[in-house]
């Protein structure tokens, strides 16, 4: 990784980096990823041909789960844990611990039809709720570092939500669902147009209260699509919108508070989150002769979020928004040697304002260092550019995939408040100065490369061995660079990098599908905040594990599915960090269960409909970096049933948390206090739906 200010022209720099990457045997890329998670929306390849560890949840699985939160859907992906917070909030883990902190979300790349939903450097830990997973045609999860097409943020994994195309079924659909705590949800789909220019509208709306006091949310999503298959470049245009208005509930505190009456309390009834996102994108593809093709995806995005930091003393209010536009260009040659190359460009303007309007309750020192008024007020303009190339070749029976990506991210930061750690009126705080430090205007440039090598050896037409070595990165986020605390005027950070090998087995026949993968990663330049409030990037962690998924139809109308993951995530450095915690090499990373598993037994027959019994297991994990306290884990049981009522109507029931288990969606120990997001008790949901294909 190289970071610093611009020197030589970026094309010269890029090609020098490319020479270095190609000479390093460990740095390479699996080209077939473009067929599964791609900027051009090609469909996934059969399981036995995949080198990468990929999980695909198709439209039938998505509709059958009918998830009220992404946590319920992605429990079907091995090694993935979407930790549910309040309402639609979440933290993501894919072959990783649950990561927290201002830029932790940068470890995962979220895509909408192959386009990142957030600009580089402006991730949000709750960004998954902007995606319409509920009406998707497929949700694709790449477990582990991404491919050359993905770039920054594809560190631990990639989630791509692929919408139903205008010509996909159903042509018309409507669903109404009712549940506990004033839960009601409706979804609708309508399509039309001639075959030469079909269009599609998918609409979604949900409103819900909660078993907790003064908690609830309203959410809406809308996607408009239009396609012209016979037009120049076969254009497909789409516009996606999402809106969330949420009354948030924070942690319940106290040892085992999730088990008793405290689980229903809300210590932060004033908390809220309002978020809006808009994304427009177009897809064009041209055939250039018999072997060559060119695809182009331009896009534009807008996000705005307003929420109360109820978890911080003084409870400041944060308002952020980003405007961004970009272009993905991909050229491909098919034949004996499959070559793909492309250019990604993205421009962003982002603003952030944090303001405290209420005095801090606490000691004189705490009140002094957290003054009223603006804490941060800045604008960042950024430009992200990348070149990538991938090659796929066969050497006898062995399939070889090689490639690399070179990326540059430039920030231009403009501080619109006073520099340093003064109050808004320019006066100094007592007790050593105000906590919040605002750097002066500056420019920062980051350069990095990702590269991977993939090998696939077919053992038969149904079985293959695969191997992969990957290196991925994530650039420092704006919140890590420019939201500093006293004593630190410049955050001299480097991009986080992750590298390591994977080894897997793929098997697929008519009744049995299975894949198993083992991995061992080292992550360097881990970004965090130390006990002095300084942002640092010299941490190191290790991530080793094995995950598997499979399906077996053992009798007509009967099937069993399962996924399991065992992993060890460990610190490999020593440091005292914020909150009074102490990291020591060899300790397990907190919020990192060793075991994650789920299994489903299903049966379907015309008379009684379709039943599915699901078991979900979250293993024990440490609550703090010192490994002093532990959450024992939990097991949940869910029962789902659906049945056609006529040719076009069907009904469905879901009984969630069948045994009424008292559990924590997430637990941790911070500032000497046990904190939990309590899970809901037994819940029954009723659905009635109309569908015409």
DSSP string, 128-197: GGGS-GGGEEEEEEEESS--TTT-TT-SSEEEEEEEPPTTSSPSEEEEEEEETTTEEEEEEEEEES-TTS
**35 pLDDT above the threshold of 60:** no
**505 pLDDT above the threshold of 50:** yes
Distance CA 33, CA 456 (A): 13
pLDDT band with cut points at 50, 70 and 90 for residue 304? very high
pLDDT tens for each residue of 516-575: 999 999 999 998 888 777 888 899 999 999 999 999 999 999 999 999 999 999 999 999
Location of structure tokens 């009918």: 66
pLDDT of residue 9: 39
673-678 vs 157-163, strand pairing mode = unpaired
Distance CA 511, CA 550 (A): 10
Distances from the Cα of 62 to the Cα of 68, 237, 512, 614, angstroms: 11, 24, 21, 14
pLDDT tens for each residue of 389-402: 999 999 989 999 99
**631 pLDDT above the threshold of 90:** yes
pLDDT of residue 17: 37
Q: Angle at the Cα of 662 (from 79 to 139), degrees rounded to 5?
A: 30
Closest by Cα among 649, 647, 658 to 681: 658
Distance CA 593, CA 319 (A): 34
**91 pLDDT above the threshold of 50:** yes
Distance CA 639, CA 685 (A): 11
Distance CA 514, CA 496 (A): 32
pLDDT of residue 41: 31
**333 pLDDT above the threshold of 70:** yes
Location of structure tokens 């611009």: 6
How many other CB atoms are there within 10 angstroms of residue 335's CB atom? 9
**502 pLDDT above the threshold of 50:** yes
Three-class SS of residue 49?
helix
Location of structure tokens 């046990």: 674
pLDDT of residue 49: 72
Of 16-25, 31-40, 251-260, which one has max mean pLDDT? 251-260
Task: Read off the pLDDT of each residue in 208-232 and give the average, rounded to a whole number.
Answer: 95
pLDDT of residue 40: 28
> Exposed e or buried b for every residue in 49-72, given b needs 16+ CB within 10 A?
bbbbbbbbbebeebbbbbbbbbbb
Closest by Cα among 80, 89, 177 to 129: 89
Percent pLDDT > 70 in the chain is: 93
pLDDT tens for each residue of 129-151: 999 999 999 999 999 999 888 98
Task: Read off the pLDDT of each residue in 660-672 and give the average, rounded to a whole number.
Answer: 93
Of 308-312, 375-379, 485-489, 580-584, which one has max mean pLDDT? 375-379
Q: Angle at the Cα of 112 (from 688 to 388), degrees rounded to 5?
A: 155
pLDDT of residue 231: 87
- Which residue did the predictor score with more confidence, 4 or 158? 158
pLDDT of residue 18: 34
pLDDT band with cut points at 50, 70 and 90 for residue 45? low
Distance CA 258, CA 678 (A): 5
**498 pLDDT above the threshold of 90:** yes
Location of structure tokens 């069907």: 650
Ranges of beta strands (E only) in 572-678 are 575-576, 582-583, 595-605, 609-618, 621-622, 630-631, 634-644, 649-656, 664-670, 673-678
pLDDT band with cut points at 50, 70 and 90 for residue 616? very high
Bridge partners (DSSP) of residue 349 are 323, 381
Distance CA 654, CA 673 (A): 35
pLDDT of residue 79: 96
Q: Which two tokens stand for residue 422?
A: 């003064």
Let me know: does 328 contact 267? Beta carbons within 8 Å.
Answer: no
Percent pLDDT > 90 in the chain is: 76
Location of structure tokens 């631990």: 156
**Percent of residues in the chain assigned helix, strand, coil, to nearest 5:** 10, 55, 35
pLDDT of residue 70: 96
Distance CA 33, CA 498 (A): 18
Instruction: List domains and CATH numbers for the chain.
Output: 2-424+438-692 (2.40.170.20)
For 360-408, give the DSSP string: PPS-HHHHHHS-SEEEEEEEEEEEEEEEEEEEEEEETTEEEEEEEEEEE
Lowest mean pLDDT among 24-38, 307-321, 392-406: 24-38
Phi and psi torsions of 345, nearest 5°: -130, 145
Distance CA 76, CA 599 (A): 8
Distance CA 537, CA 101 (A): 13
pLDDT of residue 16: 37
Mean pLDDT score across all residues of the chain = 90
Sign of CA dihedral 601, 604, 607, 609: positive
- Which residue did the predictor score with more confidence, 196 or 575? 575
């Amino acid at each position: 990784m190289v970071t610093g200010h611009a020197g030589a022209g970026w094309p010269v720099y890029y090609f020098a980096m490319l020479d270095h990457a190609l000479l390093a045997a460990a740095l390479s890329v699996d080209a077939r990823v473009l067929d599964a998670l791609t900027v051009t929306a090609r469909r996934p390849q059969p399981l036995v041909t995949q080198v990468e560890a990929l999980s695909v949840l198709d439209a039938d699985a998505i509709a059958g789960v009918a998830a009220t939160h992404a946590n319920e859907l992605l429990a079907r992906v091995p090694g993935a844990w979407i930790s549910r917070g309040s309402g639609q909030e979440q933290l993501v883990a894919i072959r990783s611990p649950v990561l927290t902190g201002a830029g932790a979300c940068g470890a995962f790349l979220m895509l909408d039809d192959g386009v990142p939903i957030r600009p580089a450097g402006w991730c949000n830990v709750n960004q998954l709720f902007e995606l319409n997973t509920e009406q998707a045609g497929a949700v694709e999860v790449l477990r582990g570092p991404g491919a050359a097409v993905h770039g920054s943020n594809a560190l631990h994994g990639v989630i791509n939500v692929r919408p139903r195309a205008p010509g996909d079924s159903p042509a018309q659909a409507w669903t109404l669902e009712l549940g506990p705590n004033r839960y009601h949800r409706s979804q609708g789909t309508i399509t039309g147009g001639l075959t030469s220019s079909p269009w599609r509208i998918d609409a979604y709306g949900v409103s819900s209260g909660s078993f907790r006091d003064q908690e609830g949310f309203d959410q809406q999503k809308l996607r408009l699509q239009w396609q012209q298959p016979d037009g120049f470049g076969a254009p497909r245009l789409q516009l996606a919108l999402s809106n969330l208005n949420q009354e948030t509930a924070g942690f319940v505190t106290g040892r085992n508070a999730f088990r008793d009456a405290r689980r229903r309390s809300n210590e932060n009834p004033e908390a809220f989150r309002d978020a809006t996102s808009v994304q427009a994108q177009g897809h064009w593809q041209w055939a250039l002769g018999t072997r060559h093709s060119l695809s182009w995806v331009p896009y534009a995005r807008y996000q705005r979020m307003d929420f109360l930091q109820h978890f911080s003393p003084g409870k400041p209010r944060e308002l952020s928004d980003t405007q961004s536009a970009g272009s993905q260009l991909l050229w491909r040659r098919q034949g004996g040697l499959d070559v793909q190359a492309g250019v990604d460009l993205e421009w962003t303007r982002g603003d952030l304002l944090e303001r405290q309007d209420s005095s801090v309750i606490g000691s004189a020192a705490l009140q002094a260092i957290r003054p009223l008024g603006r804490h941060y007020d800045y604008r960042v303009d950024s430009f992200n550019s990348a070149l990538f190339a991938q090659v796929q070749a066969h050497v006898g029976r062995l399939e070889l995939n090689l490639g690399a990506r070179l990326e540059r991210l430039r920030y231009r930061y403009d501080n619109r408040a006073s520099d340093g750690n003064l109050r808004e009126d320019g006066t100094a705080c007592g007790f050593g100065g105000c906590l919040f430090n605002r750097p002066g205007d500056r420019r920062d440039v980051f350069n990095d490369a990702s590269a991977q090598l993939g090998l696939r050896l077919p053992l038969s037409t149904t079985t293959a061995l695969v191997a992969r070595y990957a290196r991925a990165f994530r650039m420092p986020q704006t919140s890590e660079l420019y939201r500093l605390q006293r004593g630190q005027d410049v955050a001299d950070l480097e991009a986080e990098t992750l590298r390591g090998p994977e080894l897997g087995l793929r098997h697929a026949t008519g009744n049995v599908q299975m894949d198993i993968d083992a991995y061992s990663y080292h992550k360097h330049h881990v970004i965090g905040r130390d006990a002095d409030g300084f942002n640092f990037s010299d941490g190191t962690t290790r991530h080793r594990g094995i995950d598997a998924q499979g399906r077996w139809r053992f009798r007509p109308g009967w099937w069993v599915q399962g996924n399991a993951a065992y992993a060890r995530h460990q610190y490999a450095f020593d440091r005292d960090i914020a909150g009074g915690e102490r990291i020591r090499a060899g300790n397990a990373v907190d919020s990192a269960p060793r075991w994650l598993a789920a299994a489903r037994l299903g049966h379907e027959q015309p008379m009684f409909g379709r039943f599915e019994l699901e078991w979900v297991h979250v293993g024990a994990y440490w609550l703090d970096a010192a490994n002093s306290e532990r959450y024992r884990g939990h097991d949940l049981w869910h029962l789902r049933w659906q049945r056609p009522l006529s040719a076009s109507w069907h009904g469905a029931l879901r009984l969630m948390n069948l045994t009424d288990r008292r559990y924590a969606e997430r637990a941790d120990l911070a500032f000497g206090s046990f904190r939990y997001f309590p899970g809901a008790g037994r819940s029954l949901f009723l659905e009635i739906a109309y569908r015409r294909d």
